[in-house]
Structure 1
Amino acid sequence: MGLFDEIKKKLSHEFIDIIEWLDNTNDTIVHRFERYQNEIKNEAKLIVREGQTAVFINEGQIADVFKPGTYTLNTQNLPILATLKGWKYGFNSPFKAEVYFVNTRLFTDEKWGTKNAIILNDERFGLTEIRAFGTYSYRIEDAGKFVVNVVGTDGNFTNYEISEHLKSLIATRFTDTVGEAKLPIELYAANATELSETCQEVMQPEFGRVGIQLEKFYIENVSMPEELKKEIFEYSRLDKLDMGKLTQFKTAKAIEEAAKNEGGTAGAGMGMGMGFVLAQQMGGMMNPQMSQQTNPNLQQAAVPPPMPTQIMYHYAVNNTQMGPVPFEKLKELFANRTVNKDSLIWKQGMGNWAPLQDIEELKAFLGGNTPPPLPN
């Protein structure tokens, strides 16, 4: 071996580099391997560990992408890199390229939430406001697309930088999804799993455009104003509870409050009196049969008899039907001689018209109180 060959061999060993990245932060997504003037020597060793992907960028374009493994960087193994400037000069001529290590592990327990309240139009409660929060997990699926579209020239791209963008994306798509779902507002909590899966399906295309895979998406809570929550609870109770039982419960609470009255002797007496009345009412509602046995006149006193039906009479004057009028009015008409004993009268229940003198209750008109005829 000549002197030149030995020098060449010695220089080739000196120029061999090791390109690798050890992540000590657990928060870095993309790390740019720093070299002096970005020069990488021929025969350099590239070590890509599990959970990593190495992306070579030359003059702003992706030259190659390396999955986990150990690689020797030369023109034989890397035909794509053969076009890079510097390879043609041999082992000791460097080439300029940027190497980005992309963390492809699963990033879990990422938080999301709605910064502002979401306004929904509920069929029963009208315009309402809700807020929601939860967690999601993701990983970098397409390292090259992610570096080009998101990272750019950032030498140390962290999870914090991308999480803000993802949170805004999630909040926007979540608002659209719940708006189109048109679920009753009280059912969001009961359908959180189904709604989470729907949101993940809707959001994945947006994540995929920048090389991210949305692995899981969870809705942990959907909250609403306290006033609306109380209204929903009351509506639910009224829908489920028997109104009679609810009245009994309210009466019992009123008795309890009256018993706690400490306003002196008069106040105590009033409270006791009210308590006795309410107790009787509650006892009657809870056991109507016992109440009737104790006081058999209670039902008769509580329910008045029906109003008597007033009899109405039709009468004929000059072959013309008149009325109907009540008994007293007919008596007045008889007194002023508008009708007489021969006038035809009809009331409900009669088959035909009959003279006034033939109707039993009207015979009283013919007594001694009948005035004589007026003088000519």
Structure 2
Amino acid sequence: MVFFKNQFANVVEWEEFRDDMIFWKWSNREIKKGSKLIIRPGQDAIFVNNGKIEGVFEADGEYNIDSQIIPFLSTLKGFKFGFNSGMRVEVLFVNTKEFTVRWGTQNPIMIPTPQLPGGMPIRANGTFNFKVNDYVMLIDKIAGMKDSYLVEDVKIRITSILDQLLMKWISREGKDLFNLQANAFDISKGIREDLDMQVMDSGMTITGFNVMSFNYPKEIQDMITKTASHEMVGNLQKYQQISMTDGMASGKMAGGGAAADMAGMMMGMNIANEMMKNMNSQGQNGGQGQGGQQGGNASAGGGSQGGNAGGSAASGNPPKFCPNCGTKNEGAKFCPECGQKLG
């Protein structure tokens, strides 16, 4: 009989251990008398019978199942091995480590904003961390139907709802869309709490969530960079003026489409108006100085323009120059500069 003592014995262990595997099921096998259980570091072994947890073993090492394991199983304590019969039970090995997963938005997220009717297109990337924390839930929702579960399965579930959560937390409380990195901590904290609620029913918990960077379209990023370089964040009018000037200087104003052409034309008109105002202002200031000089000459009686003005006034016609300030007259009855009656 000694020859047959352990010929049917087997080893219960995680045969397909992978770092990216959350759990693996040793199932539908009959555990014979003399079999051993091997638990490696970072693993827990869960004995399951008819969907119910019989016992959880956490310390790594090698165990004799019939003498060291069965006495601790909740409803199988009295199990006796027969010569040809064994114990049919499932053993679930769980990876107990904390997993770190990189994520990134596949498509731009259109964040609603009054300035852009279609929304602000933003991409983001970062990492999240999770681990198994509830074996009952894990078996009830996932392990009861699957023989293994990968980190990639969790990543797919998380990223399927991540765009909605990013939109929610970026838009919340009027976050500055052009300086989202400053609010990355609050955004990450809110998303982590929401994701934790999403995976809780699967026996897992989100232990961390981080947004590493927010990425804007190149055109918007160039605008932000240029605005910062000119130290005029928030002064859109001044930025437009400089952009228009740069565009005209580089010859790149054309070819931007109807909308771009219209915007460029409007910006050009605005700048032209500002230039005209500046020229008029300078002209008036110069006219006042010249008028003062002419008025001085006229009052001295030695200037020909003053004499002409006096002669014109005497004849009843308005003088060409104001006898008071010397401003040139275009036929008006009163001087447009000082109000002196001219005729």
TM-score range, shorter chain: 0.5 to 0.7
Once residues 63 and 238 of structure 1 are traced to their aligned partners in structure 2, the CA distance between those partners, rounded to angstroms, is 68
After TM superposition, list the pairs within 5 Å mapping 1:6-85 onto structure 2.
Answer: 7=1, 11-23=4-16, 25-33=18-26, 37-69=28-60, 70-74=62-66, 77-79=69-71, 81=73, 83-84=75-76
Note if contact 1:29-1:159 (Cα within 8 Å) is conserved in structure 2: yes
Note if contact 2:109-2:163 (Cα within 8 Å) is conserved in structure 1: no
Q: Does residue 208 in structure 1 map to residue 200 in structure 2?
A: yes
CA gap of 1:114–1:11, structure 2 versus 1, over 3 A, is same
Residue matched to 2:337 = none
Larger Rg belongs to: 1
- Please report how far the alpha carbon of residue 241 of structure 1 lies from its aligned counterpart in structure 2 after TM superposition: 9.5
Q: Give the SS at the match of 1:186.
A: coil
Q: Give the SS at the match of 2:14.
A: coil
After TM superposition, list the pairs within 5 Å mapping 1:364-375 onto structure 2.
Answer: none
- Please report how far the alpha carbon of residue 256 of structure 1 lies from its aligned counterpart in structure 2 after TM superposition: 7.4
Which amino acid letter does the alignment assign opposite residue 63 of structure 2? Answer: Y
Identity of aligned residues (%): 26
Q: Give the SS at the match of 1:189.
A: helix
C-alpha offsets along residues 293-317 of structure 1, whole Å, 9 cap, x if unaligned? xxxx994337897xxxxxxxxxxxx
CA gap of 1:140–1:302, structure 2 versus 1, over 3 A, is farther
CA gap of 1:193–1:125, structure 2 versus 1, over 3 A, is same
Residue of 283, 286, 292 corresponding to 1:300 = 286
Count of residue pairs brought into register by the alignment: 263
Residue matched to 2:87 = 95
CA gap of 1:117–1:249, structure 2 versus 1, over 3 A, is closer
Q: Give the SS at the match of 2:232.
A: helix
Gaps of 5+ in 2: 252-274, 292-340
Q: TM-score, normalised by structure 1?
A: 0.55
After TM superposition, list the pairs within 5 Å mapping 1:121-132 onto structure 2.
Answer: 121-122=112-113, 125=116, 127-132=119-124
Which amino acid letter does the alignment assign opposite residue 67 of structure 1? Answer: E
CA gap of 1:144–1:51, structure 2 versus 1, over 3 A, is farther
Residue of 232, 237, 241 corresponding to 1:239 = 232
Which amino acid letter does the alignment assign opposite residue 239 of structure 1? Answer: M
Once residues 234 and 150 of structure 2 are traced to their aligned partners in structure 1, the CA distance between those partners, rounded to angstroms, is 55
Once residues 248 and 170 of structure 2 are traced to their aligned partners in structure 1, the CA distance between those partners, rounded to angstroms, is 46
- Please report how far the alpha carbon of residue 24 of structure 1 lies from its aligned counterpart in structure 2 after TM superposition: 5.2
Residue matched to 2:211 = 219
Note if contact 1:86-1:94 (Cα within 8 Å) is conserved in structure 2: no
- Please report how far the alpha carbon of residue 230 of structure 1 lies from its aligned counterpart in structure 2 after TM superposition: 4.9
- Please report how far the alpha carbon of residue 104 of structure 1 lies from its aligned counterpart in structure 2 after TM superposition: 1.9
Which amino acid letter does the alignment assign opposite residue 74 of structure 1? Answer: D
Once residues 195 and 174 of structure 1 are traced to their aligned partners in structure 2, the CA distance between those partners, rounded to angstroms, is 8
- Please report how far the alpha carbon of residue 53 of structure 1 lies from its aligned counterpart in structure 2 after TM superposition: 1.4
Residue matched to 2:326 = none
Gaps of 5+ in 1: 1-6, 259-280, 286-291, 306-360, 362-376
CA gap of 1:59–1:187, structure 2 versus 1, over 3 A, is same
Once residues 169 and 234 of structure 2 are traced to their aligned partners in structure 1, the CA distance between those partners, rounded to angstroms, is 34
